[in-house]
Amino acid sequence: MESLNNKELIHIEKELNHVKGYLNLEKAIYGDSLTVVYQIEAGGFMLPPLTIQPIVENAVKHGIGKKEGGGTVMLSVRETDKEFLVTVSDDGAGFDKAMPNDKQKHIGIENVRQRLKAQCGGTLELSCGSFRGTTVEIKIPKKDNTKYENFSH
């Protein structure tokens, strides 16, 4: 939780290690009901700590955990000419945007969105169909990450 107060950015590789550790624990709990797919095509950039993990946790707990028979969480990291894109999607239960208490359920997402904007000029977009999976796309502009482009693993 101390990471939430940290204003320093961390390397995507460190964040991914935290996420993979979390997902390994969830796989131990959910077993074959949880499938995880990684498509990591980019790296070497910085982002606020605990950016991806809360999104993945939402996908597992509120998406896959509420879908009979389980499902799949996909984590994708790629880059374009202008930005780095991190996408977390699930084929879980989804949610109904028209529900009156919906905003309360998305406090974690709003916290991540605000930290992304304040710390690296990033954005977070959430999309879903009613009760059919959810996708979160995080965009981190390269202009704010240029001093980190030469990062080596």
Which residue segment(s) compose the domain that 52 sits in?
A: 2-148
84 within domain boundaries: yes
Amino acid at 133: G
Please list, in sequence order, all residues whose beta carbon lies within 8 angstroms of the beta carbon of residue 29, skipping any fewer than 6 positions away: none
Mean of the pLDDT values across residues 12-25? Answer: 97
Number of domains in the chain: 1
39 within domain boundaries: yes
Query: Which tokens is 91 given?
Result: 């084929």
Give the tens place of pLDDT for each residue, 39-60.
999 999 999 999 999 999 999 9
Give the tens place of pLDDT for each residue, 65-92.
989 999 999 999 999 999 999 999 999 9
pLDDT at 11 over 60: yes
pLDDT at 150 over 50: no
153 within domain boundaries: no
CATH number at residue 33: 3.30.565.10
